[in-house]
């Protein structure tokens, strides 16, 4: 029997037995299944999807194919993290899996990489968020005011997180509800306003169809970052062995449905040439205005919803920015300051440090270029740094399931192994295609790799300083 419309195979993966609480105080676990699902939805559905039509307009409607393929990869990642969190519901998610499977060196590299993803992702989210704020103010896109608006967008969620997990969870639930309204409308009513003529030309880039799809996939991945956030925040989730897998699968499925349908609608409502214009950065607002045919009220309402959505995404990711180094600090891999809790029982050092780094990354990107290129460079950088822990999580799953298969001959081996192989394949693809294609200057084309490489280099002295203090990973629990 299907559970809530979800196939038995998915429910089988996420059905688990309750386990006794660990040594952490129960009061610290304030996120139940609704809040954990809202964390997944709020982290996945930020502003990335609302900016994709503008970002992908230089490639064309063929980007819809890329979104379909990226959705397959995202669902594979969600199922993989659901299985991994069932076995090892450890704070830190991908970092914890890589460390348990391959040791402290690989664990540190994955923790550092994912931390880069979190704060650089916030820089990308806030850059896209500015597009919709500037639907109302700074309509000419004066760079200094764009930077000021972005800084406000980064530090409001930081203040919410510093006030406590309960406040963070409340904001996450309500912003998740609000952000789904324009997506659901576009994914349903919007389909009635499609003109098939807008899907041609299919590929407006100068690349082959295959290369265009690959380039678009690397950008689309950003819209799905967050499938692992409940696993990363395991220490704050009640009954993590049960709630994390469910939240991961249900949140990703809901996101995928509205993503695909709304993307089809926007590209079908607004011609690609119009989506590419700088004055049409707020793609969903333009589509909403086109649907109603008169005035700007529909676009204004959509823009307001996206602004709220962005605050929700930044709110969730700011928590994740602190949770990864917090988990690593407890294991001796990060400086001890990241492992200290404030009087509000939050890792304040991680929140503040991550927001400072996001602010710097955002400012540097704005100084180097403008428009969609700023957003895309940060998006592709986070795709690179996210694909590393995603790939190592897949390798950890393959290692453990191969051992289980030899020991237990479990019938689930083929399913779990196939999902992990698919997740690994997509992780490699995301890195391969993470270039700013069609740019005049080489440093803009390879900007995502240059920024990611510089961020990785900063981690080397940290690793050398912490190497002697690292504790050994605990034994991996048996598969159940």
How do residues 41-75 score in pLDDT, each as one tens digit? 767 777 778 878 888 888 999 999 998 998 888 88
> In whole angstroms, what is the distance from residue 475 CA to residue 469 CA?
19
Q: Report which of 204, 325, 184, 169 is spatially closest to residue 274, judged by C-alpha positions.
A: 204
Look at residue 427 and tell me whether its pLDDT is greater than 80.
yes
The predicted-structure confidence for 68-97, as pLDDT tens digits, reads as follows 998 888 888 888 888 888 788 776 778 889
Look at residue 420 and tell me whether its pLDDT is greater than 60.
yes
Residue 3 bridge partners (DSSP): 6
The whole-number pLDDT of residue 189 equals 92
CB atoms within 10 A of CB 452: 23
Fill in the DSSP letter of residue 478.
P
The whole-number pLDDT of residue 205 equals 86
Residue 443: alpha-carbon gap to chain centroid: 25
Distant-in-sequence contacts of 134-138, Cβ < 8 A, 24+ apart:
134/281, 134/282, 135/282, 135/285, 135/299, 135/300, 135/303, 136/300, 136/303
Look at residue 1 and tell me whether its pLDDT is greater than 50.
no
Q: Where are the alpha helices (DSSP H) in 16-142?
A: 33-44, 48-56, 63-87, 94-102, 104-133
CA dihedral 29, 37, 351, 354 (to 10 degrees): 150
Name 145's Cβ contacts closer than 8 Å, sequence gap at least 6. 137, 138
CB atoms within 10 A of CB 441: 11
- The full set of domain ranges for the chain reads 32-469
Q: Report which of 296, 382, 375 is spatially closest to residue 130, judged by C-alpha positions.
A: 375
> In whole angstroms, what is the distance from residue 415 CA to residue 76 CA?
11
Task: For domain 32-469, give the fold.
Answer: Amino acid/polyamine transporter I (1.20.1740)
The whole-number pLDDT of residue 197 equals 92
Look at residue 451 and tell me whether its pLDDT is greater than 80.
yes
The predicted-structure confidence for 270-308, as pLDDT tens digits, reads as follows 999 888 887 777 788 889 999 988 778 888 998 888 898
> In whole angstroms, what is the distance from residue 357 CA to residue 335 CA?
16
> In whole angstroms, what is the distance from residue 254 CA to residue 34 CA?
13
> In whole angstroms, what is the distance from residue 194 CA to residue 433 CA?
30
Q: Report which of 428, 429, 439 is spatially closest to residue 376, judged by C-alpha positions.
A: 439
Higher pLDDT, 472 or 231: 472
The whole-number pLDDT of residue 149 equals 95
Residue 480: alpha-carbon gap to chain centroid: 29
Q: Report which of 347, 367, 374, 342 is spatially closest to residue 448, judged by C-alpha positions.
A: 374
Q: Where are the alpha helices (DSSP H) in 331-412?
A: 348-368, 372-408
Region 349-363 average pLDDT: 92
Look at residue 11 and tell me whether its pLDDT is greater than 50.
no
> In whole angstroms, what is the distance from residue 132 CA to residue 185 CA?
18
* Res. 440 pLDDT band, cuts 50 70 90: low
Higher pLDDT, 142 or 240: 142
% of the chain surpassing 90 pLDDT: 26
> In whole angstroms, what is the distance from residue 87 CA to residue 151 CA?
39
Q: Are 168 and 160 in contact (CB under 8 A)?
A: yes
User: Judging by beta carbons within 10 Å of its beta carbon (0-12, 13-18, 19+), is residue 3 exposed, middle or buried?
Assistant: middle
Region 122-134 average pLDDT: 87
Provide the sign of the torsion angle of the four alpha carbons 58, 227, 390, 116, taken in this order: positive
Residue 251: left (phi > 0), alpha (psi -120 to 50), or beta? alpha
Q: How big is the chain by its Cα radius of gyration, in Å?
A: 21
> In whole angstroms, what is the distance from residue 37 CA to residue 247 CA?
4
Residue 31 bridge partners (DSSP): 237
> In whole angstroms, what is the distance from residue 2 CA to residue 117 CA?
35
């Amino acid at each position: 029997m299907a559970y809530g419309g979800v196939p038995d195979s998915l429910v089988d993966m996420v059905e688990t037995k309750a386990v006794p609480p660990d040594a952490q105080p129960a009061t610290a676990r304030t996120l139940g299944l609704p809040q954990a699902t809202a964390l997944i939805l709020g982290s996945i559905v930020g502003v990335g999807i609302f900016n994709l039509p503008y970002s992908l307009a230089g490639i064309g409607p063929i980007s819809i194919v890329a979104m379909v393929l990226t959705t397959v990869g995202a669902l594979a990642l969600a199922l993989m993290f659901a299985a991994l969190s069932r076995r090892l519901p450890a704070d830190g998610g991908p970092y914890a899996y890589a460390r348990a499977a391959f040791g402290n060196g690989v664990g540190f590299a994955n923790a550092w990489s994912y931390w880069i993803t979190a704060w650089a992702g916030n820089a990308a989210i806030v850059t896209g968020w500015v597009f919709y704020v500037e639907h109302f103010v700074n309509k000419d896109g004066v760079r200094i005011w764009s930077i000021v608006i972005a800084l406000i967008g980064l530090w409001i969620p930081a203040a919410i997180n510093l006030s406590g997990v309960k406040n963070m969870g409340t904001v996450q639930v309500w912003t998740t509800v609000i952000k789904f309204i324009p997506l659901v409308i576009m994914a349903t009513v919007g389909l009635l306003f499609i003109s098939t003529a807008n899907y041609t030309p299919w590929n407006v880039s100068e690349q082959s169809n295959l290369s265009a799809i690959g380039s678009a996939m690397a950008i689309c991945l950003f819209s799905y970052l967050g499938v692992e956030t409940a696993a990363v925040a395991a220490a704050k989730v009640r009954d993590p062995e049960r709630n994390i897998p469910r939240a991961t699968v249900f949140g990703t499925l809901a996101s995928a449905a509205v993503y695909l349908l709304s993307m089809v609608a926007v590209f079908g409502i607004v011609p690609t040439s119009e989506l590419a214009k700088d004055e049409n950065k707020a793609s969903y607002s333009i589509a909403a205005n086109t649907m109603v045919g008169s005035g700007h009220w529909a676009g204004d309402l959509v823009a307001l919803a996206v602004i709220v959505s962005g605050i929700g995404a930044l709110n969730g990711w700011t928590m994740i920015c602190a949770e990864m180094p917090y988990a690593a600090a407890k294991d001796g891999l990060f400086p001890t300051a990241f492992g200290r809790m404030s009087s509000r029982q939050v890792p304040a050092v991680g929140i503040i440090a991550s927001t400072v780094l996001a602010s710097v990354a955002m400012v540097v990107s704005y100084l180097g270029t403008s428009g969609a290129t700023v957003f895309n460079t940060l998006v592709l950088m986070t795709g690179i740094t996210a694909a590393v822990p995603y790939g190592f999580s897949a390798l950890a799953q393959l290692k453990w399931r191969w051992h289980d298969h030899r020991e237990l001959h479990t019938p689930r081996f083929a399913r779990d192994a196939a999902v992990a192989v698919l997740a690994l394949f997509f992780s490699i693809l995301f890195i391969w295609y993470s270039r700013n294609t069609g740019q005049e200057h080489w440093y803009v084309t390879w900007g995502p790799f240059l920024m990611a490489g510089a961020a990785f280099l900063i981690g080397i002295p940290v690793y050398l300083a912490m190497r002697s203090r690292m504790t050994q990973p605990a034994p991996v629990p048996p598969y159940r």
